[in-house]
Structure 1
């Protein structure tokens, strides 16, 4: 065998084995492409369903007065203003920003907050606000995150924090959310990576614990800020955490990278070497590319920090959403009732076909193996003792289809 075959194969990082790495990481251009295509497809479907809703209203007398968000008559007009990808992004961001306050009200830990936000972002990669309003989806994501992070809250006290919502709505949406997540509930957040670096930095020589604590505490707001962005859908959690550390203390972060990538040396990157003037040790190979990633992430930090979430803008989008929501998914609309009737008819047809197949299978089995043993006549219809003594071939003795012999015949007497 060659010497190369004895070289151990390096293990892949645990994160690269996760569903988040495999299924929930995209380039920025891919994210824009996904959302644009989803928005266009949703507008087409909603436009068709609004036309069908108008026809269904004309042919039925469905009452929509009891619906909390019914399709308005104006929505059936040709000039309906549908939501753009930017509108949807702003509306989802508004509800993302409300999750930390809601978690604080429940006394939930940071991990639940981060997981709920991740679920909400992932949900709207495959669904639009015109199909499912984030006002209802956000509580469903939070309720599911409480379960997956083992911080259970009963549905009744949970739903009491959300006005105009019923527990049935959250429980119904919970499965819709889980299905959209592909039942992949584990999330890898940058807050976990930051805690890991807080421990690992303690192995760095010539670094005090107070320095590490100050850097970690200063980086925490940047991690919270990152949740309001798409960073977790583009970069690894460790990259986001290191970028936050680099923005707070670039010298410490680069020393740490050098320490992890090369054996310890008396000369550290960015530190003058004793007796050699201004000579400095170069950063390890690959660090420049990593620093470039840090700059990209830090640029997103700066951009997000400048954004001001407009409540009035969010309300305006919400008002327009009332006229362009998908009537197929809103209880109380004529189209919703029609779809339910169609689903019930299909389910009834499936049950009927299943029963027919079961009956046909039973008949086929009986033709081969005979009838069910449970169909044997009850004990009160069994032949009397005299029937067996009447003779080997008498009518009474043979009513069970078998030959009966008397004991004296068997003995030959």
Structure 2
């Protein structure tokens, strides 16, 4: 019997689903990694877009040369005012003079459209989980792409539509697009594969507001003051919703964010809950090894096999003594976001600069886009001719089986 008790006290706890998920293994970063990823993406995009604008201006000159030769004014032609021409079709600045977006510019733009996701889902009366999932998709998309390649206004709509399907709240594309001014089903669906590819086709998201609900139930089961829980919960939920406008979910686990939100709402209540958890842990005789989630053996340093050290540090269960500093960081992230809300004037200025700072290859009105499109169509035509040449003649009986 003594051996049985000893064995049970060292048995590892069941593995939480979150720790088996792609979110834990693929979408968790340190603050430094997050900054590096965004900086590298931005720098590569600026270099690429600058080169493409040089090519775009060269293509525009090639296009305008034959037109100018063909449109020489005669004596009866009336001159077109230069001001009118500039107003309707302004010339882009030189590639070296374009004010390309910085990392901070891109984050301001993405954050603004995160607020628009929340507003849209609220207007459509979608469940909160649809809102949360769509916002996560938008943030993850811009860890693989930049605003200079894809405008968040367009990506946002596809993220919301994908989220409705993921969270079993799907509607037809015609109904969805019909509720959005100046949006067509084709525009939304054309980006669906791109967004899915950028998400690595990992649609499931573990959310802090779900962890918050579980935390509330655990506080109730621990016998904490029900009135205090009821009073703190709405404030904690408000902090949780605001955390979606930050990068918190890309750095911390849903449970850490949920606990930090409750701590912002009522720190005394969280301290009482942590004390209750510690007492329960001591009564069961389970130490740190028993609380580390594991799909198998844990090595001598408490890490799970087959996982990067970074993921271990971010995702491993924390002792109560280590919990405080982590919660302080989460709270600081949320509070900083609240103190620095979206500056609409800045977002508008960034959006205006994006007119020339965006990738011309993605603009259907650009000469480069038309040139690429023409080349693709020509290549497709050549392939069709080659296929047609290989087909048997019409008089050949075998052609009926093609």
TM class, shorter-chain normalised? Answer: 0.7 to 0.9
Contact 1:72 1:323 in 2 (8 A): no
Q: Distance in 1 between matches of 2:23 and 2:389?
A: 45
Equivalent residue of 1:187, what SS?
Answer: coil
Match of 1:259 among 276, 282, 293: 276
Q: Distance in 1 between matches of 2:24 and 2:273?
A: 25
Match of 1:104 among 108, 122, 127: 122
Q: How many corresponding residue pairs?
A: 337
| Cα offsets for 1:109-158 (capped at 9, x unmatched) | 11011111100100111111110111111111111111111112322332
Q: CA shift at 1:321, angstroms?
A: 0.3
| Cα offsets for 1:359-407 (capped at 9, x unmatched) | 9xxxxxxxxxxx98x99xxxxxxxxxxxxxxxxxxxxxxxxxxxxxxxx
Q: Which residue of 2 aligns with 1:25?
A: 28
Does 2:55 correspond to 1:52? Answer: yes
Q: Distance in 2 between matches of 1:169 and 1:184?
A: 22
| Cα offsets for 1:148-206 (capped at 9, x unmatched) | 1111232233224433333221111122111111111111110110011122222113x
Residue pairs, 1:180-199, within 5 angstroms: 180-199=198-217
Q: CA shift at 1:212, angstroms?
A: 2.1
Q: Which moved more, 1:20-29 or 1:209-218?
A: 209-218
Does 2:145 correspond to 1:127? Answer: yes
Residue pairs, 1:219-298, within 5 angstroms: 219-263=236-280, 286-298=319-331
TM-score scaled to structure 1, two decimals? 0.74
Contact 2:229 2:269 in 1 (8 A): no
Equivalent residue of 1:74, what SS?
Answer: coil
Contact 1:246 1:253 in 2 (8 A): yes
Q: Distance in 2 between matches of 1:71 and 1:242?
A: 54
Change (3 A) 1:82 1:254: same
Match of 2:229 among 190, 212, 220: 212
Contact 1:42 1:130 in 2 (8 A): yes
Change (3 A) 1:353 1:138: same
Does 2:337 correspond to 1:304? Answer: yes
Q: Which residue of 2 aligns with 1:336?
A: 369
Does 2:339 correspond to 1:321? Answer: no
Q: Distance in 2 between matches of 1:354 and 1:262?
A: 75
Larger radius of gyration: 1
Match of 1:91 among 95, 104, 109: 109
Q: Distance in 2 between matches of 1:292 and 1:71?
A: 56
Q: CA shift at 1:17, angstroms?
A: 0.7
Q: Which moved more, 1:131-140 or 1:51-60?
A: 51-60
Contact 2:228 2:269 in 1 (8 A): no
Does 2:96 correspond to 1:78? Answer: yes
Q: Distance in 2 between matches of 1:71 and 1:328?
A: 18
Q: Distance in 2 between matches of 1:82 and 1:71?
A: 21
Q: CA shift at 1:357, angstroms?
A: 9.6
Residue pairs, 1:31-46, within 5 angstroms: 31-46=34-49
Structure having the higher helix fraction is 2
TM-score scaled to structure 2, two decimals? 0.76
Q: Which residue of 1 aligns with 2:288?
A: none
Contact 1:198 1:213 in 2 (8 A): no
Q: CA shift at 1:77, angstroms?
A: 4.5
Q: Distance in 1 between matches of 2:104 and 2:281?
A: 49
Contact 1:190 1:223 in 2 (8 A): yes
Does 2:172 correspond to 1:172? Answer: no
Equivalent residue of 2:206, what SS?
Answer: coil
Residue ranges of structure 2 left out of the alignment (5+ in a row): 68-87, 284-317
Q: Distance in 2 between matches of 1:108 and 1:44?
A: 40
Match of 2:164 among 137, 146, 150: 146
Contact 2:256 2:327 in 1 (8 A): yes
